């Protein structure tokens, strides 16, 4: 598959979870020993995160969105913002962790290492990957799709028809 060629995880034992963080949904692809085993979509994305922080801080959505885009988890001078954002992220990532645990149980891969690869619009939140690593105690990396596409020599004719994240989700399952 494109996924295996682009990042070389087909040779690593254990599990890799590709987490496509979109604006309205988050899709998790569970790859075990280089083979796609399970896919699940959660009806939560970056929009829900922004709404939650907006409600907690009692600020307009556009203002919170600007803060999240600009600062992510790296804004130290505003404890109210930091607390609101981390609370919203913890709720979101606890649901992701529950889904990953259900994958582990369904595939009977309890003693296997698990690595998370984040991609999609919501994954570019500053400081997110190390924060998730600390919260879930699972190695978490931001997956640069554009670099992966370039490294594999793939050309995408139209960038507006299908999102790159959707292409990556499909490519995990389809052979090259």
CA nearest neighbour of 21 among 143, 173, 133? 143
Contact partners, residue 6, CB within 8 Å, separation at least 6 = 148, 149, 151, 152
Q: What is the pLDDT along the chain (176 residues), one digit of tens a residue?
A: 445 555 554 555 689 999 999 999 999 999 998 888 999 999 999 999 999 999 999 999 999 999 999 999 998 789 999 999 999 999 999 999 999 999 999 999 887 778 999 999 999 999 999 999 999 999 999 987 665 555 555 555 655 555 555 555 555 555 54
Q: Where are the alpha helices (DSSP H) in 32-175?
A: 46-57, 61-71, 79-107, 128-136, 145-151, 164-171
Q: Which helix (H) or strand (E) holds 5?
A: helix 2-7
Which pTM does this prediction carry? 0.80
């Amino acid at each position: 598959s494109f996924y295996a060629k682009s990042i070389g995880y087909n040779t690593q034992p254990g599990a890799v979870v590709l987490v496509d963080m979109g604006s309205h949904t988050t899709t998790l692809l569970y790859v075990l020993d280089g083979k796609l085993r399970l896919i699940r979509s959660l009806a939560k994305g970056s929009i829900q995160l922004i709404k939650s922080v907006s409600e907690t801080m009692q600020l307009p959505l556009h203002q919170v969105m600007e803060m999240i885009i600009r600062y992510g988890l790296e804004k130290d001078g505003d404890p109210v913002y930091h607390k609101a954002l981390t609370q919203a992220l913890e709720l979101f990532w606890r649901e992701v962790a529950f889904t990953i645990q259900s994958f582990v149980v369904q595939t009977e891969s309890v003693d296997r290492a698990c690595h998370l690869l984040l991609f999609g619009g919501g994954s570019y939140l500053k400081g997110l990957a190390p924060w998730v690593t600390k919260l879930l105690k699972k190695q978490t990396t931001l997956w640069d799709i554009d670099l992966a596409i370039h490294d594999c020599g793939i050309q995408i004719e139209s960038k507006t028809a299908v999102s790159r994240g959707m292409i990556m989700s499909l490519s995990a399952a389809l052979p090259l």
